[in-house]
Amino acid sequence: MKSTDETKIRSKILGRMSGKVAVITGATSGIGEATAEIFVREGAKVILAGRSEEKGNAIADRLGENAVFYRTDVMEESDIKSCINAAVDKFGRLDCLFNNAGGLSKGTLDTVTKDDFDYSMNLLLGSVVFGIKYAASIMKEQKSGCIINNSSIAGIRTNNGMYLYSAAKAGVTHLTKIAGEELGPWGIRVNSISPGAVATPIFWGGSERARTLEDEENARKLEKLTQNLANATAIKKAGLPEDIAYTALFLASDEGTYISCQDIVVDGGRTAMFHEPPRPGKP
């Protein structure tokens, strides 16, 4: 067993993720892309999972030989299984899965349909369920591993996300604790991160729509969003994708080996503030 001093020395020389293999879903933009960059920089070999081959291959080329793009639609169980297997085939093991992929939910309390429900739950909760399923089968054989699920403060309190989005994220947070308890005997840690007030393209329709907007319009939207989100935090600063990525790095590295079954809130103090008043139009 490595001593604390040995671990610190190893991290400084080789990188905090040296020798580790990670799969990151939703890795072609926002939090996923930032996490992939930091993991590779810290010595990890990374499978970038996402739907956009053009964007994914471009990111992999930029990050170098330790990053490989694998086209994955997390709405499809078979794609998730293939992606996990690809990591083992390519790099020989799997040390970390970051279930990061997500997007906006569909439907409101008054308008929700069965199709809305199926879409939202498959994307936001089902992708995590099946990511854990296939990662766990590999990690059990290794008797080690780290699974990180991207949740949200919308799953903690109201008025922070859409109807089904909030419900699904609450499910992700609770599922994290259940899976962590069940997988603990195999040395597998499971944690979630609940971001809040992080400026990403999801706020104006997701990364797919953001790619269709001109750079000038994206920049304008991002500036306005950053200002609004900053005002919604205790520290008056909007979060950036890197803020979540560094939290994932801590959990996935040797520094986080005694943390499991936890939800780490990264929100600039937003959830500690007074609750917002009812939205206009409410009684």
Write phi, then psi, for 178 (nearest 5 degrees): -65, -50
Report which DSSP code applies to 194: E
Active site residues: 165
Strand 21-25 relative to strand 67-71: parallel, antiparallel, unpaired?
unpaired
Q: What whole-number distance in Å separates Cα of residue 168 and Cα of residue 44?
A: 30
User: Left (φ > 0), alpha (ψ -120 to 50) or beta: where does 280 sit?
Assistant: beta
The full DSSP string for 179-224 is HHHHHGGGTEEEEEEEE-SB--GGGGTHHHHHTTS-HHHHHHHHHH
**Strand ranges, E, within 132-269:** 145-150, 188-195, 263-266
DSSP designation for 236: S
| Helix spans in 184-214 (H) | 206-210
3-state SS assignment for residue 21: strand
User: Distance (Å, rounded) from C-alpha 173 to C-alpha 261?
Assistant: 9
